[in-house]
Structure 1
Amino acid sequence: MVKEETCRELALSFPETNEAPHFEKPSFRVAKKIFATLNLKENRICVKLSEIDQDVFSAFDKDVIHPVPNKWGKMGWTLVDLGKVRKDMLADILTMAYCEVAPKRLADLVNKPDNSNDI
């Protein structure tokens, strides 16, 4: 289970991200583009994923992660149940959502390859 404060912290941890209202829900944006919206009443977050990432994450457990059940879902918008998702998985999901909409220069800052095995 991920609490609202933790979800918000994770979403705002990416470069040049800000929070702004989107109708009655908090949204998280980069370069004026929404990558996630938080639905406090339903204890879930909606994220923008690529079709491939949406398929991969949804394969984990459709009770936890699944496409929005309409044409928005076909465009990558995906619902995540904050009461059931693990924090590490949500961090990965938010990273992919951020990189999906962020300018390449910002996405590259987040998607740096791990060079820890380099000698």
Structure 2
Amino acid sequence: MSSNHFRRVALALPGAVEGSHQGHADFRVGKRIFATLGYPDDKWGVVKLTPEQQSVLVEAEPEIFRPVPGGWGKHGNTNVRLAKADAATLRSALGMAWNNVAPKASTKRRATKQH
């Protein structure tokens, strides 16, 4: 998986836009960040999960996911090793992260479109 593919998948989510903070590309919906590229380096991305979601993904796919070191990781921020992530796994993780921060009206629209 490349950083460009991560970017395309993130931007394909409803209302997602690319921004930047602390020198890293980030992806937002409703002004809230749900993913970041390039942290801690170009081999990684970050998805904003709940601690419970993080636990499930890290346990299921430890070669792909790990908690971000420090306090951010304790709150669910999760590193994604880009080289190990396949398209379906990445879409799932980014979708969860998007769902965690998207305005409730957006999540209802998305849920309706999936059924």
TM over 0.5: yes
Contact 1:14 1:110 in 2 (8 A): no
Q: How does 1:1-119 map to 2 (within 5 A)?
A: 2-39=1-38, 41-112=41-112, 115=115
Contact 1:20 1:27 in 2 (8 A): yes
Structure 2 counterpart SS, 1:111: helix
Backbone CA RMSD of aligned residues: 1.6
Distance 2:106 2:113 in 1: 14
The structure where helix makes up a greater share of residues is 2
Distance 1:17 1:60 in 2: 27
Distance 2:18 2:114 in 1: 29
Structure 2: gaps spanning 5 or more residues: none
Structure 1: gaps spanning 5 or more residues: none
| More divergent stretch after superposition (34-43 vs 13-22) | 34-43
Distance 2:64 2:112 in 1: 28
* Residue 59 of structure 1, CA deviation: 0.9
Distance 1:84 1:74 in 2: 23
Distance 2:31 2:114 in 1: 29
* Residue 112 of structure 1, CA deviation: 4.0
- Greater Cα radius of gyration, structure 1 or 2: 1
* Residue 33 of structure 1, CA deviation: 0.6
- How many percent identity over aligned positions? 34
Structure 2 counterpart SS, 1:83: coil
